[in-house]
Structure 1
Amino acid sequence: MRFSESWLREWVSPPLTAEALCDQLSMAGLEVDALEPVAPAFSGVVIGAVEAVEPHPDATKLRVCRVDAGADEPLQIVCGAANVAAGQRVPVARVGAVLPGDFKIKKAKLRGVASHGMICSASELGLAESSDGIMVLPAEAPVGQDVREWLALDDHAIELDLTPDRSDCLSLAGVAREVGVLNRLPVTEPAATPVPPQHDDRHPVQLDAASACPRYLCRILRALDPDAETPLWMRERLRRSGLRPISPVVDVTNYVLLELGQPLHAFDLARIDGAIRVRLSRLGERLALLNDETVAFDDDTLVIADDSGPLAMAGIMGGAASAVSATTRDVLLESAFFAPSAIAGRARRYGLHTDSSHRFERGVDPLLQQRAIERATTLLCAIAGGQPGPVVEAVSEADLPQPVSLLLRRARIRQVLGIAPDDEQVVDILTRLGMSLESSGPGVTPGTTPGAPGGVAGETRGRPQGEGAETIAGGWQVLAPARRFDIQREVDLIAEIGRIHGYDAIPVTHARSAAFTRAPQEMAFDLDRARQTLVARGYFEAITYSFVSPEQNACFDPRPDSAPPLTLANPLSAELSVMRGSLWPGLIQAMRQNLARQQPRVRLFETGLRFLGSAEDLRQTPGLAAVAVGPVVPEQWGQERRPTDFFDLKADLEAVLTQTGRLEALRFQAPASAAAAHPALHPGQSAALVLGEQPIGWIGTLHPLLAQRLELPTAVQLFEIDLDALGLGERPAFEPLSRFPSIRRDLAILVPAELSFEQVRQTVTETAGDLLKQLILFDRYQGEHIEPGRKSLAFGLILQASSQTLVDTEVDALVQRVVARLEQTLGAQLRA
């Protein structure tokens, strides 16, 4: 919501500076997102009267103007604007003036003719992005007066970042009400006198979807002047509110939207065929919109239609076929209440977002339509003339929102806010907010004790029980105004009391309650420690959306097609329409953005929930994922540049999982076939993670085809683990150090190329038993002197006993058993 400070102060003007006013609004829950001047700095620009315009003797596109700028003599100014004419009032920058951008006006000669100033356009004054010609001021503009002063340009535009529940403040009237309540000032609203009809023409209206549109008002206005222009004061207020002036009819509807918060729409009466029908669309119906787009409707979109078909998307955007034009003389003015549930999500479904849909989907005052159409009629008739007809109203009272009546308890106020305001203060705050109150139950009874007559046991104010504290009972029955869709529970009323009382005025108190501490399980996986480990290894933590596009989810979520992702009923956009089944889509998107910004080394991790199953059987599982691409270490002189590979990421993951105490039980299991591989990972450079017998995730290189589709490098490494599957770790236990020396034996074996070292390690460990203290793989070779389909693995066995010194015969016998077992189970051969 954007508006000008001067416009607000016409309604209510507290004795505060603009900055203090913004701070007050923010503290009251209406966060001010920006406070900006409505015009850039310029000086020396006055109002001038063009007395004569003559052609330039040496330039066909230039004109020599004589301008009265309030000085002793008229100024001669050479102007290139095609719309300059005698009799106009225009902004004139005199010699010495400074325009936006520090552009100084000096005496000049244009094609041999002297020019003593400049006639300015709106864009040259910073009042518009572009201009077709000079800015023409109203005829009553006083000659010689400073333009900045006359247009009140020393003003500010205030922009509020409202939460979705405060739709009542999406108007100047709503903000003024808040300022009036906060400062205990009356609000001066514009008169809303009904406009008497000048003819009896009525347009029939039929509500075929009364639950979606329980109130619809319209009025015929005839004989509007198509040559009328929107007055400067209205154009300026629209501009300062971020809207572009278009024509009197459109400008008036936009003005009332900003002023009162009620969206309006005007149809060209000549382009309507038959009665207005408010109904749901039929599947496949099409409508060309005002933005030159054509939409094909689903069967649940509310439309305004006539006998020929849809005229507008109700509460969102009008159709081009029935729009007012430069020749329109008769219009049908619409003012309606559309249920928020009928509008919410419809605009985004069709890729639209308008000021109208923004308000209707949050809730518009259901009692505002009559006032808005009368206000718009008054303004439009004052600007463009016209003859208004009677207001036609179609209403379904049973479908209109009913006022919410809530019980507000005194004791509950203190319990929530920590303070107990006086009854008079509670009544004053809620009454100024437009609520009506009736006392419910007995009031404060001084001198009673808990449980005594007139009190409620256990409810005290000011002092603890047993110390003569006053007992609180009863409260009020509160009726909320129709415009406050956010008031639904007792706690909402209490929040209003705290907000207006001032959160900064609530004293700091310390709660007293029985405290129970629960020690964390000693061997539970510590996620904070895992974060610190990854950060220490050069990763940055990312936080991404929990919802992604269906295409992204399908790329990274290996679930079968029979288990589709959970689809949002009201997504922010098509790209954020399903709940993620994996953390990878968000991390990959963050990586892409970093690479696009010339970051050569990207290492990111994220912890969060994955969403699996349907809405009826939704499982939310916590996960930890990481992605890495680029050089292993930042560019430097002491180490050669090398890209991050699978084993670098494997080391990072092992560092994280070290805290489980079960690293020896962690297996990196290569997929047995292409069908068993993860669809997002390279089938030859990926592995399933298995801890003990429990699958816990995947690690690998991004699939080359997927990397190509996402325009990523081919060496993107990533892992993801299921934190719930980790379970509890092993408790560390002390093992006495052996006093006897260790012995090392090295073996080199030939095994099938597809055999993993994990299988070799498991076989050696089981055979060697407790004497094996460490197994070290120090060489892997395929190539010359090795037959095809085989590979060489060389590893060292560190053997040590705890009660004696091992002798060569014992060690040799153990090594022979290991070699024999490898030959029997894995088909290994000792390499010569």
Structure 2
Amino acid sequence: MRIPVSWLAEHLELAEDTSAETLAEAFVRIGLEVEEVTHLSTVRGPLVVGRVAEIEELTEFKKPIRYCRVEVGGTPDAPDSRNIICGATNFSEGALVVVALPGTVLPGEFEITARKTYGRRSEGMICSTKELGVGEDHDGILVLPPGSADPGTDATGVVGLDDAVIELAITPDRGYCFSVRGLARELSNALDVPYRDPAARSVPVEERSSRTVEIRDASACSRFVFRRVSGVDPTAPTPWWMRRRLALAGIRSLSLAVDVTNYVMLELGQPLHAWDAAKLAGDVVVRRATAGEKLTTLDGVERVLDPDDVVICDDSGPVSLAGVMGGATTEIGADSHDVLLEAANWDPASIARAIRRHKLPSEAGKRFERGVDPAVAPVATERAAQLLARFGDGTIEAGRTDVGEPSAPAPVTMPLALPDKVAGVHYERGVTARRLNQIGCGIEVSTSDSGVGLVTATPPSWRPDLTQPADLVEEVLRLEGYHTIPSVLPSAPGGRGLEETQLRRRAVSRALAHDGYVEVLPFPFTGQDTLDKLGLADDDPRRRTLSVLNGLETERSVLASTLLPGLLETLQRNVARGQRDLALFHLGQVVLAEEEPPEVPEVGVTERPSDEQIAALHAALPAQPTHVAAVLAGRREQPGWWGKGRDASWADAIQAARTVAEAAGVELTIAADDLAPWHPGRCARFQVGETVVGYAGELHPKVVEALGLPKRTCAMELDLDAVPLTDERPAPQVSAYPPVLLDVALVVDESVPASDLAEVVRSGGGALLEDVRLFDVYAGERVGAGKKSLAFALRLRAPDRTLTQDEAIEARDAAIDAAKKHFDATLRA
């Protein structure tokens, strides 16, 4: 919403030195967002009013060129004249214009000089509104009203270049601020200055209707007003002051009738529509459209109407899409002398849907979808009729159509001290009643049976958003000033820090990030189609999901029961944008619904729920454990002079789980398993004790194909809440003694899991065996059929001394003996 400061000042008793910045600060102080303050006084140098004394038409050029003698000062007997070349043709001799004399600098640092052009010497420039920076019209120059100023007068004040424009971002709940009326009232409250309501005009009583109107759907239209003005001169120009205000507000001048409706809309907040009364056939009906009906709107487009659309009809059918755009058949044209002014109050939700359905945003629709004051409709039509009669030489016909009965706002009662309680501030006596009265509420103060002071506020017709005590509290607090509410940080009790679960989450995140994984925040919703692509069985617990009532996307409207869909979608999106080597992880909650969800109790909002109700609400919540998941694709190690690199594999996904377990301070038991969406032969199950905590491995090829993922994409997911908390989280231990590095290759039956063999080797090696790492797997003729060779790198070290060769060999042999005992392993020659 753009509004000139001078227009606002018309309705306020402001001090002469009140600046635009002061008004902007006042808006911000009471909760309105100011986007920009623009001062128009960017013209430097001699800018004066001139009178065109003589025009010479230069016909030797392809386009119209005029050589004008313009009086720019002096006396009537001895005028100071300048000769100026001008290409505009919208003025005649005797017209008052704005002249930029040599030395003037116009917006855009355009300097005016005397120069020779078109074979004549031009001593200045006759300006258009765009060149002055007060409009967008560049087709013709600005012609001032006769008698508005004498030649030679400084044009800055005449044109309004001493004005400023404030641009505000109006929130959806404050539709009344889309008008000078609403914004001036807000400034009056913020600055505590007197306010003159532009809607406080006398409306003559009209006993008969100007035209019959029938409202068939009262839910779509609560009030409809017609006012007729006949004998309007369609060629009458819009006065400069009105065109200027419209231009500064961002609205282009079209014709007097259209400009008047736009002007009144900006002034009072009530959108108007001007009809050519001669083109309207018969009585008017307001109703919902029927399926298949068509309407050609003012933009020349034939639109197929929806049964939800509200339309205005005459005997020929729909002639206007109510609240959105008028119809072409009743448009005001160059021969329209009989104007019918319409002001109505439409259902905001219906208008909002129609705007989006037909892609027809407009200034009128912007106001209707936020709610318009139903009481101002007769005032708006009367104001517009008076302006048309005054500037278009029209006659206001007797009679006004006014049908419909808008519902009165419901009173809201609250304790007088409720704003004090909410803000934690002790306001002066009478502040609540005074502030509510300022915004237009009718106030009644009473006392409850318990002796508590109450205030009953009846909201004004322009504030449909005031429906509960919290709304009234907000009004009191914002008008008193949010800056008056102290900001006090609660003191933290001593001896407390992060919880154990928080510390573990941070440790896990750091560990994965240290291993080269990038943390992402995927979309927390998924869809049944995605679960199908993951290959989950019908009885899989992960298929028990909860749908959200207000899902952002129809295809993804259920809460995720696993982190993999969101992570895999993020992976696929990155691959589509050129990334090939990816290692991503996410740590977050999933929602696991029960087979028979418990009944959720209904809890009101007027008072605090009881402890029993709160307990029942908690009991009705589904399980929401914290999971950690990772996905890999592409290369895990990049190629270079150091080697060929390595692709990510199922082993990396398993190692990611081990990294998580190490950061959490627990040991994982790893075993082969078969669970979707992993490959049956490349899937590992993780346990802590007897509890299964997760899975990892390579995704099934069908899953990879269905989701459009890179080949051999791998994934890991652990239920972090199922992992027991331990105080023995690993801390870095730096030994001052050198390690002894030994390799051992053991031949075992091909059915022996490598993880089981590694665990036996680790336990057999004793305390000196610091680390066991599998680095090679071989199966072939050299080890025999049904056998495989597993090569391990052993790192041995003592915490208090340097190991001798004999001690290292003894520990290695003990590890080999343990492998022989458990798996009948043999050393590979």
Q: By the TM > 0.5 criterion, same fold?
A: yes
Match of 1:732 in 2: 728
State whether residues 134 and 248 of structure 2, in contact with CA within 8 Å, keep that contact through their aligned partners in structure 1.
no
- Cα offsets for 1:397-445 (capped at 9, x unmatched): 3xx3332222232343432232333433333222222222223128xxx
Q: Unpaired segments of 5 or more residues in structure 2?
A: 601-619, 800-806
**Paired residue for 2:477?**
498
Q: Which amino acid counterpart does residue 66 of structure 2 have in structure 1?
A: R
Contact 1:197–1:388, Cα closer than 8 Å, also in 2: no
Amino acid in structure 2 at the alignment position of 1:227 = T
Cα distance, 1:489 vs structure 2: 2.0
Q: Deviations over 1:111-138 (max 9, x none)?
A: 4321111222332223344622333333
Separation in 1 of the partners of 2:247 and 2:412?
A: 41
Amino acid across the alignment from 1:10? E
C-alpha contact 1:525 1:728 (8 A) present in aligned 2: no
1:204 aligned residue? 212
Q: What's the % identity of the aligned pairs?
A: 31
Q: 2:57 aligns with which of 49, 55, 58?
A: 55
Identify which of 20, 37, 53 aligns with 1:18. 20
Work out the CA distance in 2 between the residues paired with 1:784 and 1:87. 112
Corresponding letter in the other structure for 1:778: F
What's the TM-score once normalised by structure 2's chain length? 0.75
* CA separation of 1:144 and 1:722: change in aligned 2, threshold 3 A: farther
Amino acid at match of 1:324: I
Q: What is the identity, as a one-letter code, of the residue corresponding to 1:114?
A: R
Counterpart for residue 612 of structure 2: none
Amino acid at match of 2:50: G
Cα gap change, 1:619/1:815 in structure 2, threshold over 3 Å: closer, same or farther?
A: closer
1:45 aligns with 47
1:88 partnered with 2:103: no
CA distance in 1, matches of 2:513, 2:739: 39
CA distance in 2, matches of 1:315, 1:733: 66
Counterpart of 2:267 in 1: which secondary structure? helix
- Provide the C-alpha distance between the structure 2 equivalents of 1:778 and 1:79, rounded to a whole number of angstroms: 88
Instruction: Name which of 767, 773, 780 aligns with 1:776.
Output: 773
Indicate the residue corresponding to 2:287 in structure 1. Answer: 279
In the alignment, which residue of structure 2 is the partner of 1:68? 71
1:208-243 residue CA offsets vs partner (Å, 9 max, x unmatched): 111222222223333322112221111111121222
| Residue pairs, 1:635-654, within 5 angstroms | none
Match of 1:106 in 2: 113
Following superposition, the deviation at residue 491 of structure 1 comes to 3.0
The farther-off stretch of 426-435 and 646-655 is: 646-655
Does structure 2 conserve the Cα–Cα contact (< 8 Å) formed by 1:629 and 1:643?
Answer: no
Amino acid at match of 2:125: M
- Does structure 1 residue 522 correspond to structure 2 residue 525? no
- Does structure 1 residue 762 correspond to structure 2 residue 765? no
Q: Deviations 1:588-607 (Å, cap 9, x if unpaired)?
A: 899699x79xx999999877
Could you say what secondary structure the match of 1:403 adopts? Answer: coil
- Give me the whole-angstrom Cα distance separating, in 2, the residues matched to 1:551 and 1:134: 64
Q: Alpha-carbon deviation of 1:96?
A: 1.0
Aligned pair partner of 2:158 in 150, 165, 172: 150
Report the Cα distance in structure 2 between the residues aligned to 1:533 and 1:696, rounded to whole angstroms: 19
Query: How far is 1:26 from its partner?
Result: 0.9
Partner of 2:664: 660
Contact 1:644 1:715 (8 Å CA) reproduced: no
8 Å CA contact 1:644, 1:717 repeated in 2: no
> CA distance change for structure 1 residues 762 and 403 in 2, over 3 Å: closer, same or farther?
same
Structure 1 CA distance for aligned equivalents of residues 43 and 646 of structure 2 = 53
Q: Distance in 1 between matches of 2:633 and 2:46?
A: 58
Q: Which residue of 2 aligns with 1:384?
A: 392
Structure 2 vs 1, CA of residues 78 and 428 (structure 1 numbering), >3 Å: closer, same or farther? same
1:405 aligns with 2:444: no
- Alignment check: 8 A CA contact 1:631 1:641 kept: no
2:403 pairs with 1:394: yes
1:461-500 pair list within 5 angstroms: 473-500=452-479
Cα deviation, 1:40-93, whole Å, max 9, x if unaligned, reads 444332222222222337534333222222255321122233545433332222
Residue 522 of structure 1 aligns with an amino acid whose one-letter code is E
Give the AA of the match of 1:392.
Answer: T
Do the aligned partners of residues 381 and 740 (structure 1) sit closer, same or farther apart at CA in structure 2, a change above 3 Å counting?
closer
Q: Does 1:124 align with 2:131?
A: yes
3-state SS in 1 of match to 2:408? coil
SS of 1:132's equivalent in the other structure is: coil
Return the alpha-carbon distance in structure 2 between the equivalents of residues 585 and 294 of structure 1. Answer: 45
Distance 1:357 1:688, change over 3 A: farther
For residues 631 and 526 of structure 1, the distance between their equivalents in structure 2, rounded to whole angstroms, comes to 29
Distance 1:521 1:199, change over 3 A: closer
Closer, same or farther: CA 771–535 of 1 in aligned 2, 3 Å: closer
AA partner of residue 94 (structure 1)? L
Query: For the residues of structure 1 that align with 2:39 and 2:165, how far apart are their CA atoms?
Result: 6
Q: Which sections of structure 1, spanning at least 5 residues, go unmatched?
A: 443-453, 457-471, 823-829
| Pairwise CA distance, 1:737 | 13
State the alpha-carbon separation in 1 of the partners of residues 381 and 534 from structure 2.
Answer: 53
Q: Find the residue that maps to 1:224 and give its secondary structure.
A: coil
SS class of match (2:80) = coil
For residue 169 of structure 2, what is the aligned residue in structure 1? 161
Which residue in the other structure is 1:414 paired with? Answer: 420
Aligned to 1:449: none
C-alpha offsets along residues 268-303 of structure 1, whole Å, 9 cap, x if unaligned?
Answer: 334434432222222343334344555434332333
TM-score of the superposition, structure 1-length normalised? 0.75
What is the root-mean-square deviation of aligned Cα atoms in Å?
Answer: 5.5
Change in Cα spacing, 1:105 to 1:259, as seen in structure 2 (3 Å) is same
> In structure 2, the residue corresponding to 1:236 is in which secondary structure?
helix
Match status 1:796 vs 2:803: no
Displacement of 1:171 after TM fit?
1.5
Q: Following TM superposition, by how much is the alpha carbon of 1:317 offset from its aligned partner in structure 2, in angstroms? A: 2.8
Give the structure 2 partner of residue 439 of structure 1.
445
1:30 aligned residue: 32
Q: Secondary structure at the match of 2:144?
A: coil
Indicate if the aligned counterparts of 2:657 and 2:718 stay in contact, CA closer than 8 A: no
Contact 1:98 1:104 in 2 (8 A): yes
Higher mean C-alpha deviation, range 199-208 or range 245-254:
199-208
Alpha carbons of structure 1 residues 198 and 371: separation in structure 2 relative to 1, 3 Å: closer
- Distance in 2 between the 1:124 and 1:417 partners? 51
Aligned to 2:804: none
Change (3 A) 1:812 1:28: closer
CA distance, structure 2, for counterparts of residue 44 and residue 590 of structure 1:
61
Aligned residue type for 2:304: A
Give the distance between the partners of 2:363 and 2:783, measured in 1 at CA. 74
Judge conservation of contact 2:180–2:268 (CA < 8 Å) in 1: yes
1:532 to partner: Cα distance: 6.0
